[in-house]
Structure 1
Amino acid sequence: MELQREVSESMEEGKDIFQGVLKGSPRLAYEEERAIKKALMLRKWVSPLETKAVENSYFVYSGVIRRVGEDFSWLAEALAALAREKGWEERVVEKIEELSQRLIYGVTAQGLPLSRIRLRGLGRTYINQLLYQGYDTPEAIAELPLSELERILPKRLAQRLHQYCQLHYAPKPEKSNNSQKIKEEKAFPSLSLTLPPTSFSLLTLLAKRAGEVVTRDEIYSHLWPDFSDPDGSSNPYEHQISDHKRKIISQIKKAVKGKVDPTSEEIKSLIITKRKVGYMLNLKREEVWVLVDD
């Protein structure tokens, strides 16, 4: 009865997957019931519903919901890749990719631009508060006076968000001849890094495919070409990849000290871990140059 009520409240009665629930068929298998509850929970997670309300509905904390969202996110991402390969309409593929991102951050489609700011403390609760006030893009926030942000958000978060948006999204001044706007470029200063050979190989591989997820299997093949795993057991090199990622970020922080804030979110999120999928260098391809000596 509880599942029937949830399906009805979600207005999902028309979907085939829920017909067994609504028609009172023999008792659902545990795993099937669990899967349906997860789907309904995530539907609320990507809605404007308050986090506390979602937690109370399923008796779990937001951290658990977030992890479930991340698991479903990579499934949606894989589905989008398969759909594109099969020639589905691009607008459908883009909707699946959008859903993949929404599941990670627990936001509506309207909240995605703000979720991509990736500022510590700016979670779905505060994003929804900003949306409720009509501020749905970083550019809109950049135009706000700090006092208005402090009215909506906790003071420290408001100050950090204001500073971030002013730096990255505020309109740039025009040149003195008023003929061309100054172009903003996002780049790290020239760095000299000292890395172990394997860490360097990992960074090079990610740099060559900047902005693209490199799967774990591709990384294994590149870094340890002699490794084979015929029985499909857990790969012993998974922790080593994480360790090499940590070494790369650590060396970058040392190299930028005195030039860029080594604790900045930009550096922390430079290499993104896609859980159960792979890793990605979080830069656009045109922002990365890979020079190879002959």
Structure 2
Amino acid sequence: MSKAELLYDAKALLAEGPFWDEDNQQLIWVDIEGKNVHFLDPLGENETHSFDQRVGCAVRSISGDIYAGLDHGFYRYDPESGELHSIYDPEEDKPGNRFNDGKCDPKGRFFAGTMVLEGEDGDAALYCLNGGRTVSTVLTGATVSNGMAWDERKEVFYYIDTPTHEIRRYPYNFEDGTLGEPDVVYTAPDDGGHPDGMTIDEEGKLWVAFFDGGCVRRICPDEQQVLETVEVAATNVTSCCFGGKNMDELFITTGREGRTDEELEQEPHAGGIFKYRPGVSGAKSYRYDDQA
């Protein structure tokens, strides 16, 4: 089994949402429960920006601002001035939900989903912040909206609603951002952790983080099988993205929230940021098009 190496011993409560900023050669990541957005350079220098809400996901925009899904909806954040501006909360009537995973499609639309913390299963959704900062509903009926990836060559969108343990594949219209009818390309066994964040490589294979599984798995959606397992020195592996100068490094986020003191003694680097060289390059972290 392959092993990821520790890049930054963040000891985050719930590190998530890695975003590789190519222009600045840095990893943007969030600590959801720590209520922070972080900017990490490859040498291990980390800059922290704190908020008064949990931060489910954050992406860089073309203009350089940060767009994020927080407890109370979509926001724009200026990292230079520290100003935070509310855009829209699509679930103002659902105080038991919060935003979770999110990323941009190759056209610069910002997709972000919610998860149910208190309430009924199936009461979360996936939303899209379009150009012009209008918000549309993409999918409903989710419980823990999570991993997303786009295969541009095949014009498909992959999506994970974690409790289902399924990776679903949707025909994707890149012109208008609409989805077709899905099929299930992989169902994770119950004893291997829960599928969480996800990215895609240049060969169309999926890299999926497994929460409570201690690993990232490379999955072939066409053959519906695991091709490789990358061990991570933390049980709760949350997400991953490609980055580095050649887009051939896999950055992996983890969490330590919910682990007992005894368990943390066994995995002292839980909550850290890890790195792995998979031998293949992968998808960019696309910026939100705030100039559309």
TM category, shorter: under 0.3
Normalized per residue, the structure richer in strand is: 2
User: Which structure would you say has the larger Rg?
Assistant: 1
Normalized per residue, the structure richer in helix is: 1
Answer 1 or 2: higher relative contact order, Cα 8 Å, separation at least 6. Answer: 2
